[in-house]
Amino acid sequence: MTRGHVLIIVQNLPVPLDRRVWLECQALTAAGFTVSVICPKGPDDSAYQELSGVHIYKYIPPPQAKGALGYLLEFVYCWLRTARLTLKVWRREPFHVIQACNPPDTYWALARLWRGRGVKFVFDHHDLNPEVFRSRFGEPEGLAARVQLAGLYWLERRTFHTADRVISTNQSYQRIAWDRGGVPPEHTAVVRSGPDTSVMRPGEPKPELRNGREHLVAWLGIMGPQDGVDGVLEIARKIVHEHGREDVQFALLGFGDCLEDLKKQCTELGLDDHVTFTGRVGPREIADYLSTASLGLSADPLSPLNDVSTMNKTMEYMAYALPVVAYRLTETVVSAGECAVYLEPGDTDGFAKAVIDLLDDPTRRKELGTAGRGRAQEVLDWRPQAEAYVGVYESLFGLGPSYSVPPSRPAVV
């Protein structure tokens, strides 16, 4: 017998491609809850599918947004498509909780519409939208920019005030829920996006991914304006052209708004033979590349957003026993601890030199990789995070603890 029906809404990625949301779905189903998801379609996705007991409803995503008006239209379109699908989910089986994963901070309004049916609202806080705006565009100077930023703060407050529970990805986000959102501490919980180390672990390397070179250096993530992937290419240029390292291949795994611009920049820098752009990749491709790489890059630039955000890439490198070279950002240091080589933000020369030094020191690479794998298993692993996550719902429903949450399972039809 089910312990309750949870409807999860996510807009920026399809499921199960969104690793955090998929792990949450599996944790809830393993603990006896019924789970449904509403999200955009990925390529070749069907409108409905059931994966590992999770009911997934998908809508056709809007065209890529450009400018403030474009983003507004995108938010309205996705909100309306999501609202329509909530009715479809309810007709199949009434749900007891809506969990909204931001961005954007708009689904509090949908939660308020369902509140009359006794539906509770859980906010899974993935991103700081005001900080995203400030990181992309700087501090607002004109009236229009100030109005946009004020609107983002207003939406964030409405989301916090509507939520019955807030789940934060780290303690920096949790403090924002307390201080900026006015959420009672007892209504918040930290659930990190830790790697499932029972699945994410080193495998057999694929030498062909090195493009005939000795070393593969990996970068993994979403390619947005605030993610600093252009800086990764600049570091690659210094390593290849200034230091003359013909033995290094770079793999940039992921996709996003900046992918095509980054490919053009790569050509302009004369790096096409040294850089592989994979585009959208799944768990198997990620495992192949990270099992083959010599080290991972966490070159996220310092910004109001990045400094307090947990970078999943850093923890995933560690799960695959990869040494990490990173800029010294607050939450990156919390994740990696002593298992990374740190540079001051913006020091591309120092970053390139640190990568070369580590490539030329296999003993140091092994020490860092082994320590990182141990930290991923003992400190960052998803299993204790899953228990904390399920605990939020048990508290919300007034239920006793469930049986121990097992490790995640791969998505199977």
Contact 108, 93 (CB under 8 A): no
User: Do residues 114 and 169 share a domain?
Assistant: yes
C-beta separation of 380 from 315 below 8 A: yes
Closest CA to 4 of 410, 354, 392: 392
Q: Tell me: do 177 and 296 sit in the same domain.
A: no
Cβ-based neighbour number of residue 405 at 10 Å: 22
Domain range enclosing 346? 207-378
pLDDT along the chain (413 residues), means of 10: 91 91 95 97 93 96 78 90 98 97 96 97 96 88 91 96 96 96 96 91 96 97 87 97 97 92 96 95 93 97 93 96 97 94 96 98 97 95 94 89 48 30
Note whether 287 and 171 are same-domain residues.
Answer: no
Q: How far apart are CA 411 and CA 357, in angstroms?
A: 39
Say if strands 215-220 and 248-253 run parallel, antiparallel, or are unpaired.
Answer: parallel
Residue 200 lies in a domain: no
Q: Phi, psi at residue 407, to the nearest 5°?
A: -60, 160
The tokens describing 192, both together, are 């990190």
The answer as to whether 147 is a domain residue is yes
User: Looking at the structure, do residues 221 and 144 belong to the same domain, yes or no?
Assistant: no
**Domain total for the chain?**
2
Judge residue 83's burial from the number of C-beta atoms within 10 Å of its C-beta, 0-12 exposed, 13-18 middle, 19 or more buried: middle
pLDDT digits (tens, 9 = 90+) for 117-159: 999 999 999 999 999 999 888 888 889 899 999 999 999 999 9
pLDDT at 412: 30
C-alpha–C-alpha distance, residues 360 and 332, integer Å: 24
Same domain, 91 and 36: yes
Supply the pLDDT for residue 401.
Answer: 66
* Same-domain status, 98 and 184: yes
Place of tokens 């509770």: 120
Provide the whole-model pTM. Answer: 0.84
Q: Do 309 and 181 fall within a single domain?
A: no
- Cis amide leading into 94 (omega within 30): no
The answer to the question of residue 406 being in a domain is no
Is 223 among the domain residues?
A: yes
Q: Where are the alpha helices (DSSP H) in 163-306?
A: 171-179, 229-237, 259-268, 283-292
> Both 47 and 116 in a single domain?
yes
Q: Is residue 225 part of a domain?
A: yes
Type of residue found at 329: L
For residue range 315-338, what is the model confidence (pLDDT) as tens digits? Answer: 999 999 999 999 999 999 999 999
128: domain CATH number is 3.40.50.2000
Q: Is 144 found in the same domain as 18? A: yes
Co-location of 38 and 185 in the same domain: yes
Residue at token pair 């009236």: 143
Claim to verify: residue 168 and residue 34 sit in the same structural domain: yes
Alpha helix (H) ranges present in 244-361?
259-268, 283-292, 312-319, 330-336, 348-359
**Position 96: which residue type?**
H
pLDDT for the residue numbered 141: 87
First to last CA, the chain: 22
Given a contact cutoff of 8 angstroms between Cβ atoms, the answer to whether 325 and 353 are in contact is: no
Q: Is residue 404 part of a domain?
A: no
**19 in any annotated domain:** yes
Same domain, 155 and 231: no
Which pLDDT does position 72 carry in this prediction? 83
With respect to residue 78, please indicate whether it lies within any of the assigned structural domains: yes
Which residue, 271, 236, 268, 265, is CA-closest to 359?
236
